Amino acid sequence: MANWLITCNYQTFNLEKAYDELSEIYWKNDVTNTDKGFQVGDIVYVYITAPISKIVYQFKVIEHTQNNRYPNAQLLFWNNLTELKKYGGNFSVFKKLKKVDNKTLTRQSLIEQNYIKNSDTLQGLRTDRGKSQDHEISVLLNYITSQFNDEMIDFDYPDEANLNDKKFPEGAKQIVQVNRYERNPEARSKCIQHYGLSCQICEMEFAKTYGAFAQGFIHVHHITPLHKISDEYEVDPIHDLIPVCPNCHAMLHKTINGTQMTIEKLKMLYQSSNNK
């Protein structure tokens, strides 16, 4: 399974209306080498060009079809069929997964967080297939995946790390049901880049358990409880943060005889329990 980032211009194809009205979306898969194009099971993210300038859609490739099977219903959403009629290749069928409106997925936000260069207009196709985890495209797609997955759950943990400043300052409290802290997704991303997406206590990895649907999902725990920190400080994504599954994350917020649970203690309890 691979992740993709592709581009759509609403002035050419009205994906917004097509997404709302169609059960599936057909997309050109014109790579001559079939091993290099969209593969069944791949996850595809769609960037909408200016004036939207934002990554909005998430799809899953479910099958491929021939040129003559392009659905008539989808033709209605093309503003000009000239480009489509010139195309002689095959199509991939996309299953709709999610549509989001997230400020962290704007082109400007990606530039500010150093995921892309200022000159990058996000045109064309890019994929993490065959690329190392630390390749710039893999890092970008991993971040995009995390932003879509973060939309799935409203985290209630006060120290679920998701920090806004590139120096990762923490400590400024906001009162939203519980005390929360200003967060920056770059700190979370750097933590995940270092440790990976498996829980550092029980070793669970969501994508291996639930498939591509859960790719990129993990909680990031702040090792020192933020309520114990009075002044702003710079978070170290490697030493202050650690990826954990929601179950282990909840256990880390429990105490034993009034003593805060630690990563080492919880890992020992988990291993001891599973060795019985």
Three-state SS annotation for the chain: CCEEEEEECCCCECHHHHHHHCCEEEEEECCCCCCCCCCCCCEEEEEECCCCCEEEEEEEEEEEECHHHCCHHHHCCECCCHHHHHCCCEEEEEEEEEECCCHHHEHHHHHHCCCCCCCCCCCCCEECCCCCCCCHHHHHHHHHHHHHHHCCCCCCCCCECCECCCCCEECCEEEECEEEECCEHHHHHHHHHHHCCCCCCCCCCHHHHHCHHHCCCCEEEECCCHHHCCCCEECCCCCCEEEECHHHHHHHCCEECCEECCHHHHHHHHHHHHCC
Do residue 107 and residue 202 come from a single domain?
A: no
Domain of 227, in residue numbers: 153-274
Distance of CA 57 to the CA centre of its chain: 11
Do residue 218 and residue 113 come from a single domain?
A: no
Per-residue pLDDT for 166 more than 60?
no
Per-residue pLDDT for 161 more than 80?
no
Do residue 52 and residue 104 come from a single domain?
A: yes
Do residue 158 and residue 107 come from a single domain?
A: no
Asked whether residue 144 is domain-assigned, the answer is no
Do residue 59 and residue 176 come from a single domain?
A: no
Asked whether residue 265 is domain-assigned, the answer is yes
pTM of the complete model = 0.58
Asked whether residue 160 is domain-assigned, the answer is yes
Stretch 91-118: mean pLDDT? 93
Asked whether residue 11 is domain-assigned, the answer is yes
Do residue 126 and residue 199 come from a single domain?
A: no
pLDDT tens for 5-24 read: 999 999 999 999 999 999 99
Looking at per-residue pLDDT, the higher value among 154 and 234 belongs to 234
**188-211 burial, b if ≥16 CB within 10 A, otherwise e?**
bbbbbbebebbbbbbebbbbeeee
177 — pLDDT class (breaks 50, 70, 90): very low
- pLDDT, residue 189, reads 80
Do residue 126 and residue 160 come from a single domain?
A: no
Do residue 159 and residue 129 come from a single domain?
A: no
Give the CATH number of the domain where residue 67 resides.
2.30.130.30
Among 73, 104, 136, residue at a domain's last position? 136
Asked whether residue 145 is domain-assigned, the answer is no
The span from the CA of 78 to the CA of 11, in Å, is 8
Length of the chain: 276
Please enumerate in sequence order all residues whose Cβ is within 8 A of that of 186, keeping only pairs 6 or more positions apart, or say none: 113, 114, 163, 166, 168
- pLDDT, residue 168, reads 52
Do residue 189 and residue 221 come from a single domain?
A: yes
Do residue 121 and residue 160 come from a single domain?
A: no
Do residue 211 and residue 109 come from a single domain?
A: no
Asked whether residue 142 is domain-assigned, the answer is no
The total domain count for the chain is 2
